[in-house]
Structure 1
Amino acid sequence: MVSSPAVRRIFNSRDENIIDLTASFYELEPFDSIVQALQWRQIKRRLPSCMKKTLRNRFMLPNIIYVGYAIGLLVIDFNENLNTSSNNTSGANATNASKVRTSILDRPIQNDPYVNQLYIGLAIVSIIMGFLYCWAWRNRSLFDIVMIPEYLNLVQAGLYLWSATCYSKQDTLGGYYTMAVRKIELTASVIGLFAAKAWLVSWYMTYTRVFGRGYTLDDPDMVSCLATVANAIIYLVYNIQLNVSPEQYETNMLYKSADIVDFVDACFCVFACLRDDDWLWFLPLAGQYGIALGRVQVEAKTLPQFGKTPILLTSMCRRRINTKQSRNYWNINKRHDIITVPIFAPTLENSVTIDS
């Protein structure tokens, strides 16, 4: 069993186990091409291990549901049969835009009961997905600080469900329920932006930093984080525009761009899970073949984000107590800003050590 505290600091992650010697961190076999990596002997050796990891990966299920949720939104957005009312009234809205504001707000809204039911169903799926993401954080307390974005996501999903139940009650562009929906969804988009930023912090605190992972577009987690923030910003801008100009209700299609970004986010979340479960062993490491991740050393700064111990919400309100660090710790940090740590354990009997 690997007992080095340095290795624990690097590998303390939300869904990865450093004791698993089949993980990509310990990969010692480099490939020169995708043809060599996809030979039958490689597939036969790796497929059972990858399948076993995927079945145990709690993040995979909500991510697959997330893909279906994003596809459902795109179907509603771009299916002509579900948007006939919006297409038929877009020309009239453009013509009426030059009229008096009060007359525009009194114009009736054409509701589609079937579409409203679809939105309610997707909102319920979003809530279920939020609970699954909370469940996926194994070995974490419900009061852990990394759970904050998950709770914000649940609040946002609840607000969208509330607004979806009011869609059928909308009568005019300036009606009571229409304006209520606009305010509820604006609040939800603000909470969504805070949740997106909190996910970035959570990812920064718990993510495993190895070669080819982190602040690089080679990493699907990085693309997913960027898409999450972009989606939150687009939805916030869209809801602000509707609250400022309610007459744009049936002509403003900015939400379609947000839903496309949402679909990209969902796909890259699945890619990230596949990468964590080693399904993508045949792809070049950081864009290059001939490199085995287990033979690479990573220089990790001695900052607390690597393997940060769980922080409870109540810990933020307590008085911070200065703890005495070991003399060896201070000697290392006095002489070096960087500690070179091997990212693989050659054997279970030998532990990795750091020279003082």
Structure 2
Amino acid sequence: MPVNFPVKVQTDDDDDSTAPYNELEAFNSILDALRWKHVRNRVPMCFKKTLHNRYMLANLVYLGYTIALLVIDFHPGFNSSSSNACDTTDVSNETKSPLDQPVDMNDYVNRLYIGLAALNILVAFLYIIAWRGRSWFDVVLIPEYLNHVQAALYLWSSLWYPKQDTLGGYYTMAIHRIELAASCTEICAAIGWMVSWHMTYTRALGRGFTFDDPDTMGYLTTTINTLMYLVYNIQLNIHPEQYGSNQLFVYADILGFIGSVYYIIGTLRDENWFWFLPVAGQYGVAPGKIRVETRALPQFGRPEILITDLCRRRKQTREPQERYDNDANIDAIAEYF
């Protein structure tokens, strides 16, 4: 079960003077930046912004999700099988074909995977509502909806985990196919996220397509995580007998955890918690003085409601007629008197 691939949310506070990429004050050293007047003014503001940041909430839930996957992968109690069939049929299993071998299952782990699949859907929803100022029909949300599709597919496959019997059984092979489809969907979502990030991500010193940007490192780790899960599911569909022995997904989960940590750091950086650190490895330069403008994605659904437009046009076209009628009435009254 792969981790999500969170897109960097570009909010509508680009004009916020407290944003790090709009920072106009340059510091000469870390001691200069950590003077009490700066700490006193910046920390409460950063804390307030982080507390109301929906993207931080989504990242925290995502971090817990990746930690839970690692606990299942490495905790000894979750790696033991609860099935006793293998203990009583070791001799008979030697004569069976590889695909007729029973699947080693842990019922408690299967229930945990179902809960994590539901949490995966919650994380996908949190990343949707983190997009402030965007319509539900906006093109930038297409990758988010694809993320929901892959999360639903993994929930479907996890519900079938307890029904597995043999390595080549119907439910086991169906699970492999469902998870392969989920991985392909996640790759499409990852491509869409990268395109939207490339077009809308505000670039300044230390913020952009550089390795000192935590968002760049987060995208690299989670993209590789997605590719590793795709390769893992392809291998299981070609060689189902590797199910249970192929541990490629464990390394993918590790990369997913590393990426979630980078996203937490990137969100803290965007709330200007690290104002005292050297920007792009140097002091004395204000990030707000150096900035590369990016293209804005088309925002469908953002214009005014159609009926409102019609009423406005009707009002504009009716005003001259009303004025004409009023003038006519005044002339009639004047002629009467």
Asked if Structure 1 and Structure 2 have the same fold, meaning a TM-score greater than 0.5 normalized by the shorter chain, the answer is yes
1: CA distance between counterparts of 2:14 and 2:102? 60
The alignment of Structure 1 onto Structure 2 pairs a total of residues equal to 287
Deviation at 1:16, TM superposition (A): 4.8
Instruction: State yes or no: 1:307 paired with 2:296.
Output: yes
Report the identity percentage. Answer: 52
| Structure with the larger helix share | 2
- Corresponding residue for residue 42 of structure 1: 38
Contact 2:202 2:292 in 1 (8 A): no
Q: Deviations over 1:212-249 (max 9, x none)?
A: 22111111121122122211110000000011111111
- Show the 5 A alignment for 1:262-273: 262-273=256-267
RMSD of aligned alpha carbons:
2.4
With structure 2 as the length reference, what TM-score do the two structures score?
0.79
Answer whether contact 2:124 2:144 (CA < 8 A) is retained. Answer: yes
Correspondence for 1:29 among 25, 32, 44: 25
Amino acid at match of 1:57: N
Segments of structure 2 that go 5 or more residues without pairing to the other structure are 1-8, 86-91, 303-337
- Aligned 1:259-338 pairs, distance under 5 A: 259-294=253-288, 296-298=289-291, 300=293, 305-311=294-300
Hey, what does 1:164 align to over in structure 2?
158
Quote the offset at 1:299 in angstroms. 5.2
Structure-2 separation of matches of 1:243 and 1:161: 19
Q: Find the partner of 1:108 among 77, 94, 102.
A: 102
CA–CA distance in structure 2, aligned partners of residues 225 and 60 of structure 1: 16
Question: What secondary structure is seen at the aligned counterpart in 2 of 1:177?
Answer: helix
1:1-356 matches, cutoff 5 A: 14-85=10-81, 103-294=97-288, 296-298=289-291, 300=293, 305-311=294-300
Q: Distance in 1 between matches of 2:28 and 2:264?
A: 26
**Residue 291 of structure 2 aligns to a residue in which SS?**
strand
Q: CA deviation at 1:274?
A: 0.9
Aligned partner of residue 81 in structure 2, secondary structure:
helix
> Counterpart of 2:204 in 1: which secondary structure?
coil
Return the alpha-carbon distance in structure 1 between the equivalents of residues 28 and 139 of structure 2: 43
Q: What's the CA shift string for 1:28-53, capped at 9, x where partnerless?
A: 33223333323333221101110121
Mapped to 2, the partners of 1:175 and 1:31 lie a distance apart of: 65
The answer to whether the 8 A contact 1:227-1:262 is kept is yes
CA distance in 2, matches of 1:199, 1:163: 25
Larger radius of gyration: 2
Mapped to 1, the partners of 2:139 and 2:297 lie a distance apart of: 11
The one-letter amino acid paired with 2:155 is: L
Question: In structure 2, what is the Cα distance between the partners aligned to 1:271 and 1:259?
Answer: 19
Q: Is the 8 A contact 1:16 1:276 kept in 2?
A: no
- Name the CA distance, whole Å, in 2 between partners of 1:256 and 1:62: 23
Between the aligned partners of 1:233 and 1:299, the Cα distance in structure 2 is 30
Per-residue deviation, 1:141: 1.1
Checking the alignment, whether the CA contact within 8 Å between 1:208 and 1:306 is kept in structure 2 is no
